[in-house]
Amino acid sequence: LVAYIAKTPDYEVLFAGLSVDDSTAITQRLKESQIPYKLAQDGAAVLVPSKRVLETRLEMATSGLPSGGVVGYEIFDQSTFGMTEFVQKLNYKRALQGELTRTINQFREIQSSRVHIAVPDKRIFASDNSEPTASIVLKLASGHRLKKDKVRGIVHLVASSVENLLPENVTVVDVDGNVLAGGEPSDEAALLSSNQLEHRSNVEKSMERRITSMLENIVGPGKVVTRVTANIDFKRTERTEKKFDPASQVARSEQRSESKSVGEQAPIGVPGVQSNIPGAEQSATATSKPATNNNSSETTNYEINEVTAHIVEQVGAIKRLSIAVVVDGKYKKKEGGGREYSPRSPEEIKQLSSLVETASGYNEKRGDKIVVESAPFDISRFEGEINTVKAQANRQLYADIVKYAGLGILAVVLFLFVARPIIKSITAASSDIETLRQFPQTIEQMEAKYAAAEESVDFRTRSRQLIDKDPKAAAEMVREWLRTKR
């Protein structure tokens, strides 16, 4: 078993997320190159031995694989002799769609995509021409979400790649049929209303997340539901104000003028013809003074303090907030099983309300309203999922127990039947060596040891007897002698 596992090669992913066409082409090329492979993820992933992953990737790249299931500008690498104009235009549109698809697939959040471009034929009169349109279908990678700015980036990428294509004529949908972009009004006022609705939604969701995360740290995860309604003022107001302070007036200049005039003497006499006849006797007249006129004027110019202010009121200011928070109560286990619900105390509700007011920027003058209530949560809809998760966890636990128990049994078997005999043989050989070392190592030592007891013993004969009796021990002793002399 160990030898079989050791000889089995480790497989690594060569390519993943392949289309059916790419998977078929790659497996066919691997068969031609006699490279072993495995399929995974329902044929969307191809695995090869780990030692040949890099080499195989380079080989596939030279063949233009994987192509993403689309055809790009390489379609023009083939000879176009005898091709009609219609076919050339069709191939150009296919190539453009394929290149845009490959570019869009570079996004980390996108698993695959398809691009469809509709370019109408040009008419004789410009007024009869129609605008080109484009449609994009996206399949998002698992666990990813495409943000609005990236959707707009894809729209402008496609619009900039096609002549006379406007961004509002590009539609983006996902594989579930949700419209991510397209059908947007060209009217600036309508577009502004759409952006205002998105801004309002972002404000409400952001406040909901902040309040929920704060309260969950107190009452526990999954025990808080928050809903926020924000009334936002999107009016843009600009005004210029001029203020004058009469109390701060200062005389800047003064001008004074006087004039006096004297008129002629007024005529006197009796009116009529008699007084104007020459030689006639003049009647007595009274003397009169000439008329005089006196004029005087005074002008004073004052400098008054003037303040000019240009005020632009903030756009998107919050006019009113309405916040509703539902908090789950407390549960106690019953003796006979089950749980008993008890609502939270008024003191706890008041404390949670104060926290919500502080976190949301509560303003009583604005008319903000915050309601915090305690109510039991209905978790019956999650019981099936909870049981399923528990069953999966138990199966995984049992599988891990069997796995590690099998490894433990295998380790014990290897120790008893492989390692232990080897250790015994090593220890037995070492004990035999220690026993041999107790014998004299040279002829002189043997003679010195046994001379007093057996002076008449023939040591050569004795040695032959020992060798005949235990040849293995004698051979080991000779090897020890040789090692000692070295």
**Residue 445 counted as domain residue:** no
Tell me whether strands 224-233 and 317-327 are parallel, antiparallel or unpaired: antiparallel
**Residue 214 counted as domain residue:** yes
**Residue 6 counted as domain residue:** no
Exposure of 48 by Cβ count < 10 A (0-12 exposed, 13-18 middle, 19+ buried)? buried
CATH of the domain at 210: 3.30.300.30
- Over residues 340-364, the pLDDT tens digits come to 888 899 999 999 999 999 998 899 8
**Residue 295 counted as domain residue:** no
Q: Do 328 and 223 meet the contact criterion of CB atoms below 8 Å apart?
A: yes
Strand, coil or helix: 325: strand
Among 161, 184, 207, the domain-final residue is: 184
> How many other C-beta atoms lie within 10 A of the C-beta of residue 104?
20
- Over residues 92-107, the pLDDT tens digits come to 888 888 888 888 888 8
> How many other C-beta atoms lie within 10 A of the C-beta of residue 291?
11
| DSSP secondary structure letter of residue 16 | -
| DSSP secondary structure letter of residue 409 | H
CA angle 435, 436, 440 (to 5 degrees): 120
DSSP β-bridge partners for residue 173: 137, 179
Domain co-membership, 221 together with 323: yes
**Residue 267 counted as domain residue:** no
Domain co-membership, 305 together with 409: no
Domain co-membership, 386 together with 399: yes
Domain co-membership, 422 together with 372: no
Domain co-membership, 223 together with 89: no
Residue 232: CB partners within 8 Å, gap ≥ 6? 196, 199, 200, 203, 316, 317, 318, 319
Residue 94: CB partners within 8 Å, gap ≥ 6? 71, 75
Sign of CA dihedral 243, 248, 253, 257: positive
Among 164, 184, 204, the domain-final residue is: 184
Q: How far apart are CA 251 and CA 396, in angstroms?
A: 95
Domain co-membership, 63 together with 104: no
**Residue 97 counted as domain residue:** yes
Domain co-membership, 389 together with 360: no
Domain co-membership, 235 together with 323: yes
CA angle 206, 358, 313 (to 5 degrees): 65
Strands (E), 328-439: 330-333, 339-342, 369-374
Q: Which domain holds residue 421?
A: 381-430
Domain co-membership, 161 together with 80: yes
Helices (H), 105-246: 148-161, 188-219
Report pTM.
0.42
Q: Do 312 and 238 meet the contact criterion of CB atoms below 8 Å apart?
A: yes
Among 69, 94, 116, the domain-final residue is: 69
Sign of CA dihedral 213, 215, 221, 223: negative
Residue 144 Ramachandran class (φ > 0 left, ψ -120 to 50 alpha, else beta): beta
Q: How far is CA 13 from CA 32, 47, 59, 218, 449, in A?
A: 19, 4, 15, 45, 75
Domain co-membership, 342 together with 467: no
Please give the pLDDT value at position 4: 45
Domain co-membership, 120 together with 94: yes
Please give the pLDDT value at position 28: 86
Question: Would you report the helix, strand and coil content of the chain in percent, each value rounded to 5?
Answer: 45, 25, 30
CATH of the domain at 61: 3.30.70.1530
**Residue 296 counted as domain residue:** no
Give per-10-residue mean pLDDT for the chain (486 aa): 52 76 82 84 81 81 69 65 77 84 84 86 76 88 82 88 86 86 59 73 91 91 91 82 76 78 62 64 54 77 79 80 92 77 89 91 90 85 73 85 87 84 72 62 63 56 74 76 64
* Residue whose C-alpha is closest to residue 98's, from 17, 19, 179, 175: 19
Sign of CA dihedral 79, 81, 87, 92: positive
Domain co-membership, 82 together with 63: no
What is the number of structural domains in the chain? 5
Please give the pLDDT value at position 227: 93
Q: How far apart are CA 154 and CA 170, in angstroms?
A: 9
